[in-house]
Structure 1
Amino acid sequence: MSRLPLPGPTRTSRIVAVLRARRGDHVVPAAETLAANGVVSVEVTLGTPGALEAVATLRERLPRTCDVGVGTVLTRDDAARAVDAGVDYAITPTVVPEVVVTFCHAGVPVIPGALTPTEISAAWELGASAVKVFPASLVGVSYVSQLRGPLPHVALIPSGGVAIDDARSWLDAGCVAVSVGGPLLGDALDGGDLDALAARARALVAAVAAAGPLEEPGRG
């Protein structure tokens, strides 16, 4: 089966920053701070007020320098709105076939969330560009190592509880990227210190860089 590749910065930086905010006005400055410090792929969750407006603003301000995706896509209507907004990629918390197919048909890379081997295989067979292992902290790095045996061809991205200090361990276990939220963003999405966010971003970029370049699984 042919499938869409992950966007370029997601492959090269191997980091997806999850931006889930109670107020939408902090999303753009936080994302710009991340991009300026090496985290060049951001996922704006649909639960964030004004999420798609923030996506449009970021695509205008950070053209060709940052992937801007949308997350927490739950329905086909959500998917259609995200496609219309021109997102670079989409992430879901679950495997909903009509959502995955909507993005694939629109030419938008999609990363569904799954946990069990059966769910992960189902997401991959639908045409996912990668599969989000969620919630990753529930199963730990060793779980991914076990999955690599029967599913070496599936591109995996852990999400949910991934910390800056253990990012490299996930990559060393075979993940193509890591998805990091709270441990990276801290209080930045509540109007917190952007200088502190910049420092955390640089620390995460350094940790991921130590894992070396991506060797992608077979796209199968």
Structure 2
Amino acid sequence: MSSNRVPWPQLRRSLVAILRGIQPEEAEAVVSELMEAGFEAIEIPLNSPDAFRSIETAVRIASGHHWVGAGTVLSVENVDRLADAGGRLLVSPNVDAAVLGRAGAHGMVTMPGVFTPTEAFQALAAGASALKFFPANVLGPTGVSAIRAVLPKDCEVGVVGGVSEKDFEAFSKIGVRSFGLGSSLYKPGMTPQEIRARADAAVLLYDRIFGLG
């Protein structure tokens, strides 16, 4: 396993808000609502408009226990740009050892996308902090559980892709507590108030299922 590996943080709620398509001018209001609702991890995919500007805004308003970063990070160059923007979280749809290695050198938490046992072990060997099973709605709890059986016991597993708060309970039964919420939480054009309502609902259900007071 890579010596640059950064452990997955001990989040109270391991919920990642995926803000694909967010505009820089709405980032402050949206991210503020999500953080106030209880989200501690914010992912702004790089195929969003002027994504690094939105990341800089999110980093500026985040407190020390929030993890802000980028998704869809596909190149070492963008890892460096993310570091310059102050991002501490890197999410990717694939396993790229060079990307994960550079992110680890910057002290970033990483969560690459995997779908098979081979990809999962390649990601861990490259220093991934956690694994993102994607698209999780295709694998389902049964598929994720089968792959988890051969992974190290301390490996943090997250599920992303077609996942909403309605899936918390089913995945919790196989030991998953990390979820990336995308279109069920945020879609371009939604108001901050609409996003807050969805965030509150997700946090409320997460707390109930995972026994958080």
Matched residue, 2:98: 98
Could you tell me how far 1:31 is from its partner in structure 2?
Answer: 1.3
The CA distance in 2 between the partners of 1:32 and 1:172, in whole Å, is 31
| Deviation at residue 178 of structure 1 after TM alignment | 0.4
Residue 208 (structure 1) aligned with residue 206 (structure 2) = yes
Tell me the residue number matched to 2:8.
6
Task: Give yes or no for contact 1:37–1:198 (8 Å, CA) kept in 2.
Answer: yes
Contact kept? 1:123, 1:131, Cα under 8 Å: yes
Q: Given the two structures, how large is their TM-score scaled by the length of structure 2?
A: 0.90
**1:14–1:208 contact (8 Å) kept in structure 2:** no
* Gap runs ≥5 in structure 2: none
- Give the superposed CA RMSD: 1.9
Deviation at 1:212, TM superposition (A): 2.3
SS in 2 for 1:112: strand
Q: What amino acid sits opposite 1:146 in the alignment?
A: A
Q: Which runs of 4 or more aligned residues in structure 1 lie more than 6 Å from their structure 2 counterparts after TM superposition? A: none
Where do residues 112-131 of structure 1 align in structure 2 (5 Å cutoff)? Answer: 112-131=112-131
- Within 5 Å, give how 1:60-209 maps onto structure 2: 60-153=60-153, 154-185=155-186, 187=187, 189-190=188-189, 192-209=190-207
Q: Could you report, residue by residue, the CA deviation over 1:182-215 in whole angstroms, capped at 9, with x for unpaired residues? A: 0111x4x32x23222212111111222223279x
The answer on whether the counterparts of 2:72 and 2:93 sit within 8 Å (CA) in structure 1 is yes
Counting aligned pairs with the same residue, the percent is: 31
Check whether the contact 2:23–2:54 (CA below 8 A) recurs between aligned residues. no
Gaps of 5+ in 1: 215-220
The question of whether the paired residues in 1 share the 8 Å contact of 2:90 and 2:109 is answered with: yes
Would the alpha carbon gap of residues 164 and 155 (structure 1) be closer, same or farther in structure 2, given more than 3 Å must change?
same
Give yes or no for contact 2:14–2:40 (8 Å, CA) kept in 1.
Answer: no
What is the count of residue pairs matched by the alignment? 209
- Residue 7 of structure 1 aligns to which amino acid in structure 2? P
Paired with 2:62 and 2:179, the residues of 1 have a C-alpha distance of 21
Question: Within 2, Cα distance between the matches of 1:113 and 1:93?
Answer: 4
